């Protein structure tokens, strides 16, 4: 475990904020499975949260027992970000987080997200304004730099620490890498060696082995997991077992079916329309089914579903067929040996 000020992150594994994914429903799913030490909301425009816009308030919702929980803000105006941080504290969150990592063209075009890595003066004003506005523990999520030739995360990290930031998450990719690039963890290690506050390593941590390799190569206090958690919601428990030397976690088809159907049920309850619910079901299916051996037919069936009922029926039919095939195999083997 590690601590952000007096908040224990145990296990030292954090669910990364992901736009359109880490809403309250998905965070509930991850918490229900276990192994995650901290959850973070989707990023929220600070001005909209301070202005109590409906969508921003909904994005900031968290359960009373979702502890510890961090609310992530983004923007470019120091005063609005300060106002947003005050409101995060009023909401009762445990941690306020600043996004310096989003590579979105829309966000970067307005000097938010990873664009702040190119403007240290503005980044410093923002960090200082947030620190002065709230007594909450304050963290920053960033990328390694703007492009491969400008990996300035260590310098930005040192500035953040000097301004009172108490924890950092660093993705090995630069902004121009998007979701590609050549994996290199040296910049994260450089940040770890540059600052005294806890550093989370982020980027392509998808299983126990990549987690152990990342931790060993970076020396990070903890790990932040994003898309790997969509593909395999059990990834936190798998990694938690590996970190303490326990046997690998085994997840059978019954558990996969139960979790997917339960998640879809909560999605349907969250959305006001079947169209919205079905859209979210299809989005998750693209990732979730990649984690199932032979899951491509299920993914296609869900993507072609016309209603939420049809999507859930396809899930039940898929796993029923798999169970039937497995039941037939012993009989076939017995007949073969006879």
Residues with catalytic annotation?
102
305, 314 contact by CB (below 8 A): yes
Structure tokens at 19: 């736009």
164, 157 contact by CB (below 8 A): no
328 by Cβ neighbours in 10 Å (0-12 / 13-18 / 19+) ranks as exposed
* Cα 124 off chain centre by: 25
Q: What is the 3-state secondary structure (H, E, C) of the chain?
A: CEEECCEEECCCEEECCCCCCCCHHHHHHHHHHCCCCEEECCCEEHHHHHCCCHHHHHHCCCCCCCCCEEEEEECCCHHHHHHHHHHHHHHCCCEEEEEECCCCHHHHHCCCHHHHHHCHHHHHHHHHHHHHHCCCCEEEEEECCCCCCCCCHHHHHHHHHHCCCCEEEEECCCHHHCCCCCCCCHHHHHHHHHCCCCEEEECCCCCHHHHHHHHHHHCCCEEEECHHHHHCCCHHHHHHHHHCCCCCCCCCHHHHHHHHHHHHHHHHHHCCCHHHHHHHHHHHHHHHHHHCCCCHHHHHHHHCCCCHHHHHHHHHHHHHHHHHHHHHHHHHHHHHHC
Distance CA 236, CA 242 (A): 10
């Amino acid at each position: 475990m590690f601590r952000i000020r007096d908040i224990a992150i145990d296990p030292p594994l954090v669910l990364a904020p992901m736009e359109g994914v880490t809403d309250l429903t998905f965070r509930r799913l991850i918490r229900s499975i276990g192994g995650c030490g901290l959850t973070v909301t989707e990023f929220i425009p600070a001005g909209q949260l301070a202005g109590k816009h409906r969508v921003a308030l909904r994005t900031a919702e968290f359960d009373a027992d979702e502890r510890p929980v961090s609310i992530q803000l983004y923007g470019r105006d120091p005063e609005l970000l300060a106002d947003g941080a005050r409101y995060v504290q009023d909401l009762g969150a445990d941690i306020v987080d600043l996004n310096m990592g989003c590579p979105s063209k829309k966000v970067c075009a307005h000097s938010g997200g990873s664009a702040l890595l190119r403007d240290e003066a503005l980044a410093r004003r923002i960090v200082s304004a947030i620190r002065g506005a709230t007594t909450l523990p304050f963290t920053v999520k960033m990328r390694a730099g703007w492009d491969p030739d400008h990996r300035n995360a260590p310098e930005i990290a040192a500035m953040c620490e000097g301004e009172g930031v108490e924890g950092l998450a660093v993705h090995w990719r630069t902004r121009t890498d998007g979701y590609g690039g050549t994996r290199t963890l040296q910049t994260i290690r450089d940040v770890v060696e540059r600052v005294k506050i806890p550093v989370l390593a982020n980027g392509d941590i998808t299983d126990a082995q990549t987690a152990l390799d990342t931790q060993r190569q970076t020396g990070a206090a903890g790990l932040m997991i994003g898309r790997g958690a969509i593909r395999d919601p059990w990834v936190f428990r798998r990694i938690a077992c590996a970190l303490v030397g326990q046997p690998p976690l085994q997840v059978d088809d019954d558990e996969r079916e139960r979790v997917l159907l339960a998640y879809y049920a909560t999605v349907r309850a969250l959305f006001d329309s079947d169209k919205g619910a079905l859209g979210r079901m299809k989005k998750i299916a693209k990732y979730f089914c990649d984690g199932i051996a032979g899951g491509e037919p299920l993914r296609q069936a869900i993507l072609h579903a016309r209603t939420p009922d049809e999507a859930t029926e396809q899930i039940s039919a898929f796993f029923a067929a798999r169970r039937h095939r497995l039941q037939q195999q012993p009989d076939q083997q017995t007949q073969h040996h006879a």
